[in-house]
Amino acid sequence: MKHWVGYFMVIMGILMAGMWSFFLAAGMVPELETIPFTTAAHLGAEFGTAIMMVTGGLLILKQKPQAELIALLALGMYLYAVIQAPGYYLQQGAIVFVVMFAVFLVLGISAVWSLIHTKTSQE
């Protein structure tokens, strides 16, 4: 049942890293000029989250010990990112992105619920 969580985590981690890589390569992060330290820290957190999501997802798919613990940590990082991100897009008037992040939030909460529910039902 939790295999979907592993796939979800890997896909979202790749999408996060891909999105930010695209934005950086296309010069679409003007905040690097105006608030470089804040933006660098934010990008570090985003790429760190992406790495943790892929790692946690792969560990779940491979059914490794402690996979759920690492996955829950990664999902916590992910949930923070998808709660924080819509504010930026709302200020830009990009409602489609706000809706997209709302869907990502629901999926992330569902993934956490699935991991916790699966773990507690096994004990």
Domain that holds residue 28: 3-122
Residue 44: pLDDT over 70: yes
Q: How many domains does the chain have?
A: 1
Neighbouring residues of 13: CB distance < 8 A, sequence distance ≥ 6: 49, 50, 51, 52, 53, 54, 55, 57, 74
| Model pLDDT, residue 1 | 54
Cα 105 from chain centre: 9
- pTM for the model: 0.92
Sign of the Cα pseudo-torsion (8, 10, 56, 50, in order): negative
Q: How confident is the model at residue 118 (pLDDT cuts 50, 70, 90)?
A: confident
| CB atoms inside a 10 Å sphere around CB 92 | 10
Give mean pLDDT, residues 69-75.
Answer: 98
